[in-house]
Amino acid sequence: MGLINVEVDQLSPRSLWQIASSGWRDYQDAMTLIDLANPTKFLSLTARVMPWLVATTAILLAIGLYQSAVAPDDYQQGATVKIMFIHVPNAWLSMFVWGVMSLAALGTLVWRHPLADVTAKAAAPIGAAFTFLALVTGSLWGRPMWGTYWEWDARLTSVLILFLMYLGLIALWRAVEDPSRAARAAAVLTLVGAINLPIIKFSVDWWNTLHQPASVMRLGGPTLDRAFLIPLLVMAVAFSLLFVTLLLAAMRNEILRRRVRSLQMVQASRRVA
């Protein structure tokens, strides 16, 4: 542990964070695994891993699509159950990506991890895209099921609110010029959003049962039949891998963008001098 002089009567949450994070820093210095935190090392690792990721993702997507195509029809919904194989993985991912961003937010605020900012910024648009897909496919699934393109049921409404939160987060990223300040503001908003997500989900569920006694059809019973479960899981894994691939690529771009920015500032100061 590094030497920290903290007066006992000054112990506050702030100094406790300082002790924790300095301890983590010492640990980091000792561990070469954390060389991964170095952006340049990260870039070279990504370059090596990317082809494998792309190949695996493509293969899994192909398998998943094939399995979705040959899956049987549901006794209630017919072939429209095939939409579920896209809708559900995207809905799961929309929340999972917010979870990833929340971890990155902790990395930014608590540990000042250099790649945390980059991860959070890169993940936001990808998460928003998955949320958008969940909404659109949910809407297209709803038309045959409920007769309207939009239905204020608990699931769709929660995803809509999540989408608005993604858009707000992206707007905040763009609103602040300095990357590290933007990262910290976005980190606070991400964590507040993470705390609020269960509250919002609970509220919307509650609101929905209040106004609308159960009208959502269940898929052939409480548990999903194996014939539907396997394609669903394959597609879920495929989309998750897709997210990881896109995230690493977007992180790479973000690192390069910051490099461009700092070099441009060097160039500008040179011109002045």
How many residues touch another protein under the rule CB under 8 A: the total is 69
Pick from 94, 84, 95, 131: nearest CA to 231: 84
Q: Given candidates 88, 118, 241, 250, which one binds another protein under the rule CB under 8 A?
A: 250
Q: By C-alpha distance, which of 172, 173, 179, 174 is closest to 264?
A: 179
Give the DSSP H/E element, type plus range, for residue 187: helix 179-211
Specify the residue, 18 or 196, whose C-beta has the smaller distance to another protein: 196
Binding residue for another protein, selected from 78, 212, 215, 229, defined by CB under 8 A? 78
**Rounded Cα–Cα distance for residues 44 and 159 (Å):** 36
How does DSSP assign 23-64, residue by residue? HHHHHHHH-GGGGGGSHHHHHHHHHHHHHHHHHHHHHHHHHH
Q: Does 36 bind another protein (CB under 8 A)?
A: no
The nearer residue to another protein, 4 or 268, going by C-beta atoms, is 268
Q: Which of residues 132-171 bind another protein (CB under 8 A)?
A: 132-133, 136-137, 140-141, 143-144, 161, 164-165, 167-168, 171
Q: CA-based angle 109:200:209, to the nearest 5?
A: 165
| 216-150-213 Cα angle (round to 5) | 30
* 208 contacts 154 by C-beta, under 8 angstroms: yes
Q: Where do we find the tokens 């409404």?
A: 157
Nearer to another protein, 181 or 215 (CB): 181
User: Does 188 participate in binding another protein (rule CB under 8 A)?
Assistant: yes
Among 16, 36, 62, 69, contact with another protein (rule: CB under 8 A): 69
The correct pick among 63, 96, 184, 227 for binding another protein (CB under 8 A) is: 184
Using rule CB under 8 A, residue 189 touches another protein: yes
Instruction: Give rounded-to-5 percent helix, strand, coil for the chain.
Output: 85, 0, 15
Q: State the maximum Cα–Cα separation within the chain, in Å, rounded to a whole number.
A: 76
CB of 32 to another protein, least distance (A): 19
Task: Candidates 16-24, 94-102, 213-221, 265-273: pick the segment binding another protein (CB under 8 A).
Answer: 265-273
Our CB check for another protein shows the closer of 191 and 224 to be 191
The least distance separating another protein from the CB of residue 31, rounded to whole angstroms, comes to 22
The answer to whether 119 touches 244, Cβ cutoff 8 Å, is no
Name the phi and psi angles at 74, rounded to 5.
Answer: -75, 145
Tell me if 110 contacts another protein by CB under 8 A.
Answer: no
Name the residues that contact another protein, by CB under 8 A.
Answer: 43-44, 47, 69-70, 73, 78-80, 82-83, 86-87, 90, 109, 125-126, 129, 132-133, 136-137, 140-141, 143-144, 161, 164-165, 167-168, 171-172, 175-176, 181, 184-185, 187-189, 191-193, 195-196, 199-200, 202-204, 206-207, 210, 242, 246, 249-250, 252-253, 256-257, 259-260, 263-264, 266-267, 270
